Amino acid sequence: MATVTLRPPNGVIADAPVTTTGETVVVPVGPADGRPVAVVIADRDGARLRPVVDIERLAWCAVTASALAAAAVVAAGVTRRRPAIGSVSMGPGGWVSLKGAALPPLRPATRRPWWARLLRARRLVVE
């Protein structure tokens, strides 16, 4: 195993061990911290540059994306408003039962609409 220093045009210097298999030479290329960015494969057909996929970084990105999605779902569930009434059920004889419903707010004393006077409608008073 021999060590070769490559000087690509972008200025990255790679001091890496060269692996030779018969007539094929494989040289990792990357910064000095040891993480290869690409691999140069040289054989009879010429030299090819193959990019290297960083699986660890890809896994961290997937974990971060799923955590952000989970946080968005939790935030949407927390900010959801409660329904105005609890449950609606049909009683005997077709009566509707509303459980957990609040009383409607009282209206201010205003003039009755014309249709209420025409129909002689009375206000519903809760006792």
pTM (2 decimals)? 0.42
Q: For residues 33, 34, 36 and 39, what is the CA-based torsion angle, rounded to 10 degrees?
A: 130
The CA distances from residue 39 to 5, 87, 116, in Å, are 14, 65, 86
Q: Where do the structural domains in the chain lie, given as residue ranges?
A: 2-53
Both tokens of residue 111?
């003039």
Residue 3 to residue 73: CA distance in whole angstroms: 52
Confidence at residue 2, expressed as pLDDT on a 0 to 100 scale: 47
Tokens of 115: 């249709």
pLDDT tens digits, the chain, 127 residues: what are they?
444 444 554 545 445 556 666 688 888 888 877 778 888 888 888 889 999 888 888 999 999 999 999 999 999 988 887 766 667 778 777 777 777 666 666 766 677 888 888 998 877 777 6
Specify the pLDDT at position 18. 60
Alpha helices in the chain, H assignment, sequence order: 55-78, 114-118
